[in-house]
Structure 1
Amino acid sequence: MPATSRTTLLRLLGGTLLAGSILSSPALAQTTNNAPKAASAPTEGPQQRPWMNTALDAAARTELLLKEMTLDEKLQLTFGYFSTKAEWQRSPIKNWQMPKDGLPDSAGIVPGIPRLGIPNQWQTDAGVGVASQRTQTPRLRTSLPSGIATAATWNPELAQAGGAMIGNEAFLSGFNVQLAGGMNLMREPRNGRNFEYGGEDPLLAGIITGHEIKGIQSQNVVSTMKHFAFNGQETNRFNIDHRIGEQAARQSDLLAFEFALEVGDPGSVMCAYNRVNGFYACENDWLLNKTLKQDWGYKGFVMSDWGATHSTTQAANAGLDQQSGWAFDRSPYFADALREAVNNGYVPEARATDMARRILWAMFDNGLFDKPVAGDRATTIDYAAHAAVTRADAEEGIVLLKNTPGLLPLSRTAKSILVIGAHADVGVLSGGGSSQVYPYGGPVNGLAVADEFPSGFPGPKLYHPSSPVKALQARTRATVTYLDGKDVRAAAAAARKADVVIVFGEQWTGESIDAPNLNLPDNQDALIDAVARANKRTVVVLETGGPVLMPWLPKVGSVLEAWYSGTSGGEAIARVLTGEVNPSGHLPATFPASLAQLPRPVIEGDPKLDRDSHPMGNYDIEGAAVGYKWFDKTGARPLFPFGYGLSYTNFTLGKLTATPQGKSVSASFTITNSGKVRGKGLAQLYVAGNGWEAPKRLGGFTKVDLAPGESRSVTLTVDPRLLATFDSKTRGWNIAGGDYQLLLAHSATDIAERATVRLAPATLDNRGR
């Protein structure tokens, strides 16, 4: 990483980017037709506000403020409004008007209470940056690579720096709530939102996403961990009922959320659209009350996804604290109806107070009172520094999947390089839906084929203006030319004349739709096959939202998985191709060899079903054996295993020792750069026990930067929950006594060394202690 990138990372991780004046937020007066009115603020002069004493902790300040609030004021905090007026946006209210003081083209706003100094909650869609709803004049901001690309870095420091960067841009854009922190486990490789998430393993996804949340909240912005829970596909996402046993749930998706909560301490959790075991996620007592708030002791608030609220009394009593994005729902359940339910005793007043308490605690805990946003100050954003952050993330997330010796990095002797496909002459692809960031500098528009821009959500299909071709031209003496690849014969003919061919393959995915299969669309597999037959020195660069099949793999010389690489993606890809950067990414998800290897070869549900249907989803098929665990359990051989990734150098792992440490295990080993090029090596530590969902689990990982010949000694401690099974009766964890194996590995299938350790039986409480 260059010095400028390191400096930027340190600045972001230190939370020193906030600047500018501190001004009071304006009050919000709701103007939506037929919508409930915000609680009126009594007219009175300034009063002493003891809750503004920053020497007190968030809990104490919250209690002081609650004592001064009326019931109407408490309930006002539980109801949020969508903040975009757009003809294409569905709404059950005719003549929808954007609420006063709502920021244009944003996710929403929750009215504050001026008389008490409670600021508005201005909410932005996020995921990889400050996202705009689709309008004619979206705000232009920096986009990180996709979440799965950040997970592929296996680098918590980069995840936290990226979170701090997008949190800073949110703050300077006038937002204090960022709907970021997506981490649903990849149970379905065709899921259209996999690109937003952290892969298939609970430890990796939880650690990476938790650090992103931590980074966002370092900028006085509430982060939202989502989508809670089991939102594993987009097909029938509003109504599918995913069935899963509690033990399997706690050892898989819920464990990922638990790790992220412990690392990032998010102010908010967003409940999902789908049902879980018969109940909607946003009115699911087992998820929201028993697991999140009681077992894990969560202090923040639960907000609904936009359109995920279905009731008043049931949702409030089951743990939902805030209805978000009205009018996406069928009714304003948490407005007048909630007030009536509290007045009639169907929702206890103590519960209404608890809802407000959780929201206020998150606001105090993340500085929304003490460092309020001061409107849109985007002119003060350091876009150059932020470009370095996103480029570092993209570079470290690129995974080298195959490399014929002498092909990559690109040789300086190559006189001609032909680049084909995916509009690599002008930019890099991004994922679609609510996380879409319109990039600083403006998106690439007006591409050749009109159907590349869907007329409705989750479009438009958008390219960030970071051209891999231009970045290559700046880094090589070779002549670099481009073909769009639409004429396969012409592409193959041109390939025969080039020293090296680089084919960019793309798979556009987005919110609300799942991929029909795992093949590259639009005849791209045939294109790559024909080009590789014409020239063996063919490199394939994949821009995808997740795993894809590669029927042409034996024919090509090298393959890079670049994911959706963000607003500096073209430069990042070129730097890896030319060797300026040594690739160090590793897969955060298994790439299957065929759909037949999956727990569900056909996606459950039917996209033709209406929103009132009740399709079933059976997650008990694999239970907690998600991803590589399913492949271990079934003996299937994947195309590329979880944790896989090559480098331009070589790393050796050895000297593994393991010893019991209380209720856990401590493992020590060395990692050595045994090659000739500096690089970052990844060591993965798996644990194997008996009676688990699968033969082994990821127990730890570390990534180290090593010069040629350099060695580093590392010690990792395995979280006790990764050695245990969850007991639904005691709501705790049990570690069985006996022998456990520690596996030091380069990937889930490439084990370097093994060690055995004997553990005594032990029990853990419901928080894994």
Structure 2
Amino acid sequence: MRHRLLLGIALLAPIGPATAQQHPPAPSDADRRAEATVRQMTQAEKIALLHGPVVAMVPLAKRLPGITVGAGYVVGIPRLGIPALVETDASMGVANSEFLRKGDVATAMPSTLGQAASWDPEMSRRGGAMIGAEARDKGFNVMLAGGVNLVRDPRAGRNFEYAGEDPLLAGTIAGAQIAGVQSSGIVSTVKHFAVNDLETGRNVHSVAIDEAAMRESDLLAFQIAIEKGDPGSVMCAYNKVNGVHACENRFLLTDVLRRDWGFRGFVMSDWGAVHSSEAIVAGLDQQSGEQLDGKRWFSDLMPAAIAEGRVPASAIDVAARRIVRTIYTHGLDKRPNEARGTIDYDAHALVSQQAAEASMVLLRNEGDVLPLVATARRIVLIGGHADVGVLAGGGSSQVRPVGGFVLEEKGDGLGFSKRSYVASSPLSALRAALPGADVTYVDGRDPAVAAAAAKAADVAIVFGEKWAGEGADQPNLSLDRNGDALIAAVAAANPRTVAVLEVGNAVAMPWRDQVAAILVAWFPGQRGGAAIARVLTGAVNPSGHLPVTFPAATTQLPHPVLPGANAIPADAASRAVYGLLSDTKPFAYSFPEGSDVGYRWFDRTGAAPLYAFGHGLSYTRFRYSDLRVAGGERLTATFTVTNIGTRAGVDVPQVYVRRSGKAKRLVGWGRPALAPGESRVVTVTADPRLLADFDGARRRWTVPKGRYAIEVATSATAPVLTGSVVMNAVTRRP
């Protein structure tokens, strides 16, 4: 059976908001109301909107009444009907460490990197709507979601919070999540602006990158996320960019964000990222978590800065107006900001489980050992605390899940970055899914005992882990706790070994060719154990594809040695706690890869990765045919995908474009769900920015006239259909 359906995912807007500078938008009702409201404010009331504390660090007697304890709050102005802004950390759900709200629970989504592995923006939108609804019902009206920093180094501690290495994929997934969060009637941020890709010395390091490289990579990811999600706020980052702190970087906050992109919300700082009152002149509107900064630049010290002429009074008006306009735009003034009703955690858990199932990436499946079938009567699970739960990432984004953590251990990084396990047992889920099988568990602490158990089983499923958390980068790509040796020992004892990886980053796999199957489960969230079991047993056909490149070795990376490793105290190196040490020396580093992040770097250098960006297997097979391409002003690729296997499945065909002398670029993808024998037509229309160079001197995107090579592929290194097209020269504003 054959159907024609247009499925492609790509940006269809012109190259950037070309008219933002030439033709400013007409004032909206929110603009007019905000202007009128700010005119009625005293200077003290305006300044009150520009700063907020970490709630948990405020003595109970001094807290604003009725405020839900979260990341922070900003007082409102009751006489003018301006509500307080009550903020929660986010991305994987409503963050709720014991430091913040003892005993609170929320639905834990899979890691954002896992959600990006689904390549499914609609799934991200649904997840965003769910976590936004929980935030609203817990009494919050601002959610610090929308992490879109590109994954430039697989050792970076917060990669699990972000959406991969490609600007189109990352921006699309993050933008969908932001739109979902805000559909629940609250404000979302996009963060951390910009080029904030390492935890090592994050408060003291500076990244050096030229404008063209930044525009074509990290900034493009933010631009796409903002276009897709329309966030109410942008959160600026800790690091310096070209020697200037991100939160007082006029180029980023004023020239790019407001002048070129036409952003009309407000900019808040990350918690502890402000260094002067004058940052408001550069484009920062709000100091967040002010106790974590050296001084209260936007509160106690602001009146003196105004009086001394270091900050013009008009800058206070502008910042207050942006904040109030955002409140009006998103209707925060029309809804009571208080905890309300009961939350349907069962329904929300299903959203999380479906996202986890869509995120899992089958990297290898020799001999079709998966899915598990009835002939596998004796199955042993080994390691990873798979008897009780699944691993979660750590830091300010961590969600204490419904049912709590079944196990918590100290982790490197921030004090609240604990190595925690969600109470969703793969062992229990597999036993329920395979009632006729003998499914047992061995903890894996002794590789010899594990090998003996594996040898006696029909199939051995060994869990490899690599924990990640805010405040710490990782010294290598090896699995934690001698996990590589454990998998090798199990595989040597049983050729039908399946490795399940609960990881927040790409990892090395020295044992890859010894195991029959590899499933990347990421940090799978609230019902991660059930999701793993459903994929292993075939109740769900895996459809995830890698959102990052898995390198064969760190020597293939632009920085074989992690930047800043020599700047940390010698006694800290062995602990891999690089991020927040107060005695870390300032350092600077640059990007040899420029805009060629991830798979583009591998394409440029010719290095063969362990597993390529975009790779992912299915329990069925797909055939591609009938490629047709069109050029001129707009590049379009149309092709047919057919399911030639015996199972229904979802495919993710990817379209890459290469220009002479340049690394290939992803320009779009499809995600057809196909029954056996079914065909569908996929059309991808490329956003010209993905083909263009950015000319910093002229502030223009330029698509050169010429012939462009087209690849329809199953990954960045596996083209299936090829073609070429001639493009006209196109030039646009940013």
Q: Which moved more, 1:61-70 or 1:454-463?
A: 454-463
CA distance in 1: counterparts of 2:725 and 2:465, whole angstroms: 46
Which residue of the partner structure matches residue 601 of structure 1? Answer: 560
Task: Indicate whether 1:399 and 2:371 are aligned.
Answer: no
Kindly indicate whether the alpha-carbon contact (under 8 Å) linking 2:68 and 2:138 is maintained by their aligned counterparts in 1.
Answer: no
Shift of 1:121: 0.3
Change (3 A) 1:715 1:117: same
Which residue of the other structure, out of 693, 696, 704, is the alignment partner of 2:672?
A: 704
Shift of 1:560: 0.2
SS where residue 671 of structure 2 aligns? strand
Task: Indicate whether 1:722 and 2:690 are aligned.
Answer: yes
The structure whose RCO (Cα within 8 Å, separation 6+) is larger is 2
Kindly indicate whether the alpha-carbon contact (under 8 Å) linking 1:241 and 1:614 is maintained by their aligned counterparts in 2.
Answer: no
Kindly indicate whether the alpha-carbon contact (under 8 Å) linking 1:102 and 1:108 is maintained by their aligned counterparts in 2.
Answer: no
Shift of 1:138: 3.8
Offset from partner CA, 1:400-456 (integer Å, 9 cap, x none):
00002231000111111100011111111000000110001121136xxxx556796
Q: Which moved more, 1:676-685 or 1:102-111?
A: 102-111
Which residue of the partner structure matches residue 360 of structure 1? Answer: 324
Which residue of the partner structure matches residue 604 of structure 2? Answer: 633
SS where residue 462 of structure 1 aligns? strand
Task: Kindly provide the amino acid, as one letter, of the partner of residue 675 in structure 2.
Answer: A
- Percent identity, aligned pairs only? 51
Task: Kindly provide the amino acid, as one letter, of the partner of residue 568 in structure 2.
Answer: P
SS where residue 327 of structure 1 aligns? helix
Alignment of 1:76-225 (within 5 A): 76-85=48-57, 99-101=63-65, 103=67, 105-135=69-99, 137-225=102-190
Change (3 A) 1:201 1:409: same
Shift of 1:656: 1.2
Q: Which moved more, 1:616-625 or 1:322-331?
A: 616-625
Kindly indicate whether the alpha-carbon contact (under 8 Å) linking 1:245 and 1:620 is maintained by their aligned counterparts in 2.
Answer: no
Which residue of the other structure, out of 369, 373, 380, is the alignment partner of 1:418?
A: 380
Kindly indicate whether the alpha-carbon contact (under 8 Å) linking 2:558 and 2:591 is maintained by their aligned counterparts in 1.
Answer: no
Which residue of the partner structure matches residue 24 of structure 2? Answer: none
CA distance in 2: counterparts of 1:631 and 1:69, whole angstroms: 55
CA distance in 2: counterparts of 1:293 and 1:555, whole angstroms: 53
Task: Kindly provide the amino acid, as one letter, of the partner of residue 257 in structure 2.
Answer: L
CA distance in 1: counterparts of 2:413 and 2:189, whole angstroms: 29
Task: Indicate whether 1:549 and 2:508 are aligned.
Answer: yes
Kindly indicate whether the alpha-carbon contact (under 8 Å) linking 2:550 and 2:612 is maintained by their aligned counterparts in 1.
Answer: yes
Which residue of the other structure, out of 420, 430, 453, is the alignment partner of 1:472?
A: 430
CA distance in 1: counterparts of 2:488 and 2:531, whole angstroms: 26
Which residue of the other structure, out of 73, 80, 87, is the alignment partner of 2:45?
A: 73
CA distance in 2: counterparts of 1:200 and 1:279, whole angstroms: 24
Shift of 1:133: 3.4
Which residue of the partner structure matches residue 572 of structure 2? Answer: none
Shift of 1:522: 1.1
CA distance in 1: counterparts of 2:355 and 2:630, whole angstroms: 35
Kindly tell me the number of residue pairs found equivalent between the two proteins: 694
SS where residue 101 of structure 1 aligns? coil
Q: Which moved more, 1:153-162 or 1:130-139?
A: 130-139
CA distance in 2: counterparts of 1:158 and 1:289, whole angstroms: 33
Change (3 A) 1:400 1:58: same
Task: Indicate whether 1:739 and 2:707 are aligned.
Answer: yes
CA RMSD of aligned residues (A): 1.7
Shift of 1:460: 2.0
Kindly indicate whether the alpha-carbon contact (under 8 Å) linking 1:409 and 1:576 is maintained by their aligned counterparts in 2.
Answer: yes
Which residue of the partner structure matches residue 654 of structure 1? Answer: 625
CA distance in 1: counterparts of 2:206 and 2:61, whole angstroms: 34
SS where residue 264 of structure 2 aligns? coil
Which residue of the partner structure matches residue 404 of structure 2? Answer: 442
CA distance in 2: counterparts of 1:396 and 1:337, whole angstroms: 49
Which residue of the partner structure matches residue 752 of structure 1? Answer: 720
Kindly indicate whether the alpha-carbon contact (under 8 Å) linking 1:402 and 1:560 is maintained by their aligned counterparts in 2.
Answer: yes
Change (3 A) 1:309 1:616: same
Q: Which moved more, 1:603-612 or 1:704-713?
A: 603-612
Structure 1 gaps of 5+ residues are 1-54, 87-94
Change (3 A) 1:356 1:612: farther
CA distance in 1: counterparts of 2:489 and 2:532, whole angstroms: 23
Alignment of 1:271-290 (within 5 A): 271-290=236-255
Task: Indicate whether 1:317 and 2:285 are aligned.
Answer: no
Kindly indicate whether the alpha-carbon contact (under 8 Å) linking 2:413 and 2:470 is maintained by their aligned counterparts in 1.
Answer: no
Task: Kindly provide the amino acid, as one letter, of the partner of residue 392 in structure 2.
Answer: S
TM-score normalised by length of structure 2: 0.92
Shift of 1:67: 2.5
CA distance in 1: counterparts of 2:703 and 2:232, whole angstroms: 32
SS where residue 84 of structure 1 aligns? helix
Which residue of the partner structure matches residue 653 of structure 2? Answer: 683
Which residue of the other structure, out of 279, 284, 292, is the alignment partner of 1:328?
A: 292
Kindly indicate whether the alpha-carbon contact (under 8 Å) linking 1:458 and 1:510 is maintained by their aligned counterparts in 2.
Answer: no
Which residue of the other structure, out of 413, 417, 440, is the alignment partner of 1:459?
A: 417
SS where residue 106 of structure 1 aligns? coil
Kindly indicate whether the alpha-carbon contact (under 8 Å) linking 1:686 and 1:742 is maintained by their aligned counterparts in 2.
Answer: yes
Offset from partner CA, 1:272-297 (integer Å, 9 cap, x none):
00111000110111111111111111
Shift of 1:347: 1.6
CA distance in 1: counterparts of 2:61 and 2:495, whole angstroms: 59
Shift of 1:188: 1.1
Kindly indicate whether the alpha-carbon contact (under 8 Å) linking 1:85 and 1:105 is maintained by their aligned counterparts in 2.
Answer: no
Kindly indicate whether the alpha-carbon contact (under 8 Å) linking 1:342 and 1:348 is maintained by their aligned counterparts in 2.
Answer: yes
Which residue of the partner structure matches residue 19 of structure 2? Answer: none
CA distance in 2: counterparts of 1:143 and 1:417, whole angstroms: 28
Task: Indicate whether 1:618 and 2:589 are aligned.
Answer: yes
SS where residue 669 of structure 1 aligns? strand
CA distance in 2: counterparts of 1:603 and 1:96, whole angstroms: 42
CA distance in 2: counterparts of 1:652 and 1:592, whole angstroms: 27
SS where residue 703 of structure 1 aligns? coil
Change (3 A) 1:56 1:732: closer
Which residue of the other structure, out of 211, 219, 234, is the alignment partner of 1:269?
A: 234
SS where residue 485 of structure 1 aligns? coil
Which residue of the other structure, out of 445, 454, 462, is the alignment partner of 1:495?
A: 454
CA distance in 2: counterparts of 1:635 and 1:386, whole angstroms: 44
SS where residue 124 of structure 1 aligns? strand
Change (3 A) 1:458 1:636: farther
SS where residue 513 of structure 2 aligns? helix
SS where residue 461 of structure 2 aligns? strand
Task: Indicate whether 1:228 and 2:193 are aligned.
Answer: yes
CA distance in 2: counterparts of 1:603 and 1:452, whole angstroms: 23
CA distance in 2: counterparts of 1:613 and 1:497, whole angstroms: 51
CA distance in 2: counterparts of 1:731 and 1:269, whole angstroms: 22
SS where residue 588 of structure 1 aligns? coil
Change (3 A) 1:591 1:98: farther
